Every structure is written in C-alpha cells, then in structure tokens.
C-alpha cells in the first residue's frame, strides 16, 4: 500500500509531501539494533531523505543526506532514490541520553553542533552538493533551513518518530510543505495556523489508515480554495540494494596495492555493508581474480 501523498492546492500556493514511515523506521531499527534515541534520530533522517528522493525528477537519481555533529551520535546518513527506496545508518546505534524536559528524545543532543550536507547525483557530470550549519540538530528544522539557504525554497518540515512501550516504533512520518512562488497571503496564513495547531505528527498516525486521511486531519478543514488535492501517491520503503557484484567493484576500486596487501596479510576479505550489515566473504582465489581485474589482465 502507498504510504505517501504528494498534493497541491487549487490556487498553486503550496505543494505538500506527506508520508507515514512507521514500517521503514522499524526495519531500520531491526537491522541496526538502535536505542530509542538512535531510532528517532535515524528515523527522522531516513524519512526526510525519503521525501526528498521523491522530489528528484528522474527515478534513477539518488540523494544522500548526511548529518554530522559533535554529539555522541556522531553521524547519521541516509540515501534515497527517486523510486522511494531508502537506506541509512547512524554511527553510534547505542547512543543514549536523558529525555528532554518536555519528555521527548533528545535528538538535538545526540547530534550536537555540526553540518547537514545534501549530495544529489542527478546523472550529470558533477554531483550537486549543498551544506549548511545545523540549527538545532533536531533534523526537521535543519532541513527547512537547508531548503531555504541552499535551494531558495521556503518550506515547513515536520519529522517524527514515536517509540511505543514495547520499544518498537509506534509511529513515524514526515511532512514537507513547500511554499510556491506567488503563493496567496491568505492561504499561507491559514496554513500557518493549521501547522501551529498540528502538535506532533506522530500523535495522529496511530489513528489514521492512509496518508490521505492524515492529510485530511491536518489540512482538511482549510477553506475550500486552499484545501490540498492529491496529485500522486507514492511509497517510501527500506531497500539496500547491495550485492556481491557491487562489493567486487568496490574491492577492485581500492587498487592493486591494497588488494595485494589484503591477500598477503588476511588471505581474503570480508566486507560488511554499512547500510544493511550484510556480510560478503571473498576468499584468496576470488581476491586473486579481482586483483587480475584491477591490473586489467
Ligand atoms: Zn546492504
């Protein structure tokens, strides 16, 4: 079932991307065995990257969001493509901090001060790279800042992950609302009011059955000319896509000298995919074949 809607208002004042990613974030948690705090931090970045992937014009283009800070979580990275496929990791999946005064997980504390970098591979000669200083490390606010500064696109961003009493992901989702050029003032005022009253996205998610229903809960009571209409339904999901073939290419790319050293000292190699933790074994025979390829023999 599709978990994402892309919608616009009839007057063309805004475009809305809205997704429910509870299953994807649970999958990331299962793979990386993250603490609640790490699940929230990684889940927010995965959800944001997933929505940004859907903004890519070409389905084969890819995008990476890297959040790097001086906090104990160190680094969170997520990669997404135009088909809604997302993967990612957090450098320290065991990170834990006390809850904030408002009872929420301290994602900003786990991230600390640092930068947010977006790299887009649009199949052009050079990848696009945009980098900003983190505002709060809470991710949604940082992404809004990125859109404004790097893409000159005023946007409102909400990202949330709620952990249930059984320590599983109870709700996760995200919203990116882009203000379009020539937006009507009255529409923006009405939107601002609804977003201020929204509270947390994850409060609504356990009570809805589709992303369109979530959209209705948030913006369904706008005056009719400003109400969103669904343009497209999409699906954001976890997908790694690593394979033995890709790992072979990666090994060949490290070059003859390093390959020779691996054969001499270790008699082979084991590569662990940093996204899905899948393990790939290469014995001496296989390594020697790769070495021949690296030498173009
Ligand atoms: Zn993998």
Residue 124 has what pLDDT? 82
CA of 46 to the centre of ligand 1 (A): 15
CA of 242 to the centre of ligand 1 (A): 4
**Residue 297, pLDDT above cutoff 90:** no
CA of 249 to the centre of ligand 1 (A): 14
CA of 38 to the centre of ligand 1 (A): 19
For the chain, the average pLDDT equals: 95
Residues within 5 Å of ion ligand 1, judged at the Cβ atom = 240, 242, 273, 275-276, 278
* 172-219 residue pLDDT tens: 999 999 999 999 999 999 999 999 888 889 999 999 999 999 999 999
* 224-246 residue pLDDT tens: 999 999 999 999 999 999 999 99
CA of 243 to the centre of ligand 1 (A): 7
Sequence-distant (≥ 6) Cβ neighbours of residue 270 within 8 angstroms: 279, 280, 281, 282
Residue 296 has what pLDDT? 82
CA of 241 to the centre of ligand 1 (A): 6
* 102-159 residue pLDDT tens: 999 999 999 999 999 999 998 888 899 999 999 999 999 999 999 999 999 999 999 9
CA of 254 to the centre of ligand 1 (A): 19
CA of 274 to the centre of ligand 1 (A): 7
CATH: 3.90.1280.10, 3.40.1280.10, 3.40.30.10, 3.10.105.10. Which one for 244-294?
3.90.1280.10
Query: Nearest-CA neighbor of 48 among 179, 181, 154, 138?
Result: 138
CA of 64 to the centre of ligand 1 (A): 15
Domain ranges of the chain: 4-238, 244-294
CATH architecture observed for domain 4-238: 3-Layer(bab) Sandwich (3.55)
């Amino acid at each position: 079932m599709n978990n994402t809607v892309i919608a616009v208002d009839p007057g063309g004042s805004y475009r809305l991307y809205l997704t429910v990613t509870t299953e994807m974030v649970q999958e990331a948690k299962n793979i990386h065995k993250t603490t609640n705090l790490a699940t929230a931090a990684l889940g927010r970045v995965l959800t944001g990257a997933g929505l940004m992937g859907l903004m890519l014009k070409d389905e084969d283009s890819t995008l990476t969001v890297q959040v790097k800070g001086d906090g104990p979580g160190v680094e969170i990275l997520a990669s997404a493509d135009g088909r809604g496929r997302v993967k990612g990791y957090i450098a320290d999946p065991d990170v834990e901090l006390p809850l904030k005064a408002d009872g929420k997980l301290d994602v900003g504390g786990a991230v600390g001060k640092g930068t947010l970098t977006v790299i887009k591979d649009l199949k052009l000669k050079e990848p696009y790279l945009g980098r900003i200083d983190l505002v709060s490390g809470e991710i949604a606010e940082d992404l809004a800042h990125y859109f404004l500064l790097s893409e000159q696109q005023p946007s409102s961003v909400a990202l949330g992950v709620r952990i249930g009493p059984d320590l599983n992901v109870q709700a996760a989702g995200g919203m990116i609302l882009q203000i379009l050029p020539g937006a009507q003032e009255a529409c923006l005022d009405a939107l601002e009011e609804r977003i201020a009253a929204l509270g947390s996205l994850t409060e609504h998610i356990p009570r809805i059955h589709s992303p369109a229903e979530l959209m209705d809960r948030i913006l369904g009571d706008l005056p009719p000319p400003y109400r969103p209409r669904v343009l497209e339904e999409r699906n954001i999901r976890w997908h790694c896509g690593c394979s033995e073939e890709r790992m072979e290419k990666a090994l060949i790319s490290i070059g003859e000298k390093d390959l020779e050293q691996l054969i001499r000292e270790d008699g082979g190699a084991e590569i662990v995919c940093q996204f899905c933790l899948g393990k790939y074994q290469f014995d001496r025979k296989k390594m020697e074949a790769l070495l021949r390829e690296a030498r173009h023999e």
